Amino acid sequence: MVPVLTRRSAMAGALAALLAPGSRQAAANAPPALRDLAAAKGILYGSCVQGAQLAAEDDFTALVLRECAAIVPENEMKWQWMSHRPDEEDFSIPDRIVDFATRYRLALRGHNLLWYWRTPDWFKALPRGQSAESAMVRRVTEMCRRYRGRVFCWDVVNEPIDVETGRADALRKTVFLDEIGPDYLDLAHRAAREADPAASLVVNEYGIVYDTPAAEQKRTAVLRLLERMKRNATPVDALGVQAHLDIGGDPFSPPKFRRFLADVAALGLDIQITELDATDERAPAEIAARDGLVADAYARFLDAALDEPALGVVVTWGLSDRHSWIVRHECNAQGWRKDGLPSRPLPFDAALARKRAWTALAAAFRAAPPRPPGKWAAPALALHHARR
């Protein structure tokens, strides 16, 4: 259950922390915020958050407001999280985060409309065909209509590709594919576009960063899917690259990844980095060494990624090591460090101090070629300004 994120609790805590006596002087001496370093190059930077974190932790909320121009609900918009009975959705759960974003003029990424792994059980029990299609289209339409003008982009179908299935189209075998058929993606994208013509529609995928045969196959499959969608005039605006980096794992080839991004851009699509973080279960225990390896991974990845001018949005999957799926055992039992030490995947540590990963992000934004002014950061934020 997400605690209530009231205006009073969020305002009082976060702004008091930001505006407390003496804090203006401290702010003048503080390093710049990631949001400003990114915005100076026309890039939108943000993080995922949970409503419960914003409601309960003033220091964390103040950090989010200082560093981020965009937020993403980590779980609150997932269909299974919102719906326990056929065609009933509890909008009050995402509403709190959407209201928070509107109040503080943060851009909001919508994550996600459909994800096989977080689909309500009642949907899985529906008969194949028409009733499943209607329920899926209703879900997409209601979300996009309700948050029209407040969500600047949607991950419409999260993680649609699985090269292991042996299907020629490489579509993941999901409840949507089973019950509706391979057109489900096109149907969902069309419903989203119809309900909110201004929101960017994103295909969000993982496992497409590293230099392995499996990742190479998946990159090719993603490209084929995007080409197919363009050919069918299915509305799609961007590829979301999740980018859960893995320290000491598979090799990374900047030129190959760079080539892939250029191929996506050549289709006329934008690119967003949607879930950047780094698992460190294979890295040494010693913190300075570990943080250095995490920062190096961020740097190598971002240097390649930000070289692509079609990439205008960077989101880390969390801001502080206090809150990450990687440090929550229920989300990451498999990737748990053998020595039991807490993982350190994000730009700030659990006490909210900057880490070398923050420095790597800052350096990458500083070095990034400028994007066309007003293409990403400004329009996403303008949605919220326009509503005030």
Please choose, out of 19-27, 222-230, 280-288, 322-330, the segment that lies near ligand G3I by the rule CB under 6 A. Answer: 322-330
Footprint of ligand G3I on 100-139 (CB under 6 A): 118
Q: How far is the CB of 328 from ligand G3I (least distance, A)?
A: 5
Please choose, out of 9-17, 122-130, 166-174, 323-331, the segment that lies near ligand G3I by the rule CB under 6 A. Answer: 323-331
- Radius of gyration (Cα) for the chain, nearest Å? 20
Binding mask 146-185 for ligand G3I (x = CB under 6 A): ------------x---------------------------
Residue with tokens 């299907």: 167
State how beta strands 200-205 and 238-241 pair. parallel
The answer to whether 239 touches 226, Cβ cutoff 8 Å, is yes
The residue among 49 and 132 lying less far from ligand G3I, judged by its C-beta, is: 49
- Please say whether the dihedral angle defined by the alpha carbons of residues 66, 70, 74 and 78, taken in this order, is positive or negative: positive
Beta-strand runs (E) in 206-348? 238-241, 244-246, 270-279, 311-316
The residue among 158 and 320 lying less far from ligand G3I, judged by its C-beta, is: 158
The residue among 299 and 346 lying less far from ligand G3I, judged by its C-beta, is: 346
Footprint of ligand G3I on 25-84 (CB under 6 A): 74-75, 78
CA distance 139 to 124: 14
The residue among 51 and 312 lying less far from ligand G3I, judged by its C-beta, is: 51
Q: Residue count at the site for ligand G3I (CB under 6 A)?
A: 12
Q: Is 331 in the site for ligand G3I (CB under 6 A)?
A: yes
The residue among 74 and 196 lying less far from ligand G3I, judged by its C-beta, is: 74
CA distance 319 to 321: 7
Q: Is 321 in the site for ligand G3I (CB under 6 A)?
A: no
SS3 of 69, please?
A: coil
Q: Convert 208-235 to b/e letters by CB count within 10 Å (16 or more is b).
A: bbbeeeebbbbbbbbbebbeebeeeebb
Q: How far is the CB of 60 from ligand G3I (least distance, A)?
A: 15
Among 89, 179, 275, 291, binds ligand G3I (CB under 6 A): 275
The answer to whether 176 touches 116, Cβ cutoff 8 Å, is yes
Residue with tokens 């937020």: 71
The answer to whether 162 touches 217, Cβ cutoff 8 Å, is no
The answer to whether 283 touches 294, Cβ cutoff 8 Å, is yes
Among 242, 253, 279, 316, binds ligand G3I (CB under 6 A): 242
Footprint of ligand G3I on 333-362 (CB under 6 A): none
Q: Is 246 in the site for ligand G3I (CB under 6 A)?
A: no
SS3 of 273, please?
A: strand
CA distance 274 to 239: 9
The residue among 76 and 196 lying less far from ligand G3I, judged by its C-beta, is: 76
CA distance 35 to 104: 14
Q: How far is the CB of 382 from ligand G3I (least distance, A)?
A: 27
- 147 exposed, middle or buried (CB, 10 Å; 0-12, 13-18, 19+)? buried
> Length of the chain in residues, anyone?
388
How many CB atoms are located within 10 Å of the residue 158 CB? 22
Please choose, out of 38-46, 214-222, 328-336, 348-356, the segment that lies near ligand G3I by the rule CB under 6 A. Answer: 328-336
Q: How far is the CB of 158 from ligand G3I (least distance, A)?
A: 6
Residue closest to ligand G3I (Cβ): 325
Please choose, out of 13-21, 63-71, 326-334, 373-381, the segment that lies near ligand G3I by the rule CB under 6 A. Answer: 326-334
The residue among 23 and 80 lying less far from ligand G3I, judged by its C-beta, is: 80
Q: What would the two tokens of residue 53 be? A: 């974190």
- Residues forming the site for ligand G3I (CB under 6 A): 74-75, 78, 118, 158, 206, 242, 275, 325, 328, 330-331
